Structure 1
């Protein structure tokens, strides 16, 4: 189960920085029907919300 969660979160993190899709669309694409739960799991792994993760990446890219 932990492997699947890690795989989904890694894929979600890539999608956040490579696409302009909304978080709830990314959540559905990686297998989470509930976007709030997706955000909770994402924040537990990365320490920031999906939207903050995207913002920080864009800021550090420049």
Structure 2
């Protein structure tokens, strides 16, 4: 069994982790507001409309 665990701890295991590693980001209300402000700075006509109408992804509250 010792040899089996040596194989798991080798470079094959690290490559598997890199392939299947979940890539996620934290996106809170502050970041959502900044994204809206940047979009409005680029195009002032976007002022007062919903995120989805601006072409931005809809923001869901942080739990």
The TM-score, its normalising length taken from structure 1, stands at 0.33
Which structure has more relative contact order (CA 8 Å, sep 6+)? It is 1
The TM-score, its normalising length taken from structure 2, stands at 0.33
More helix by percentage: 1
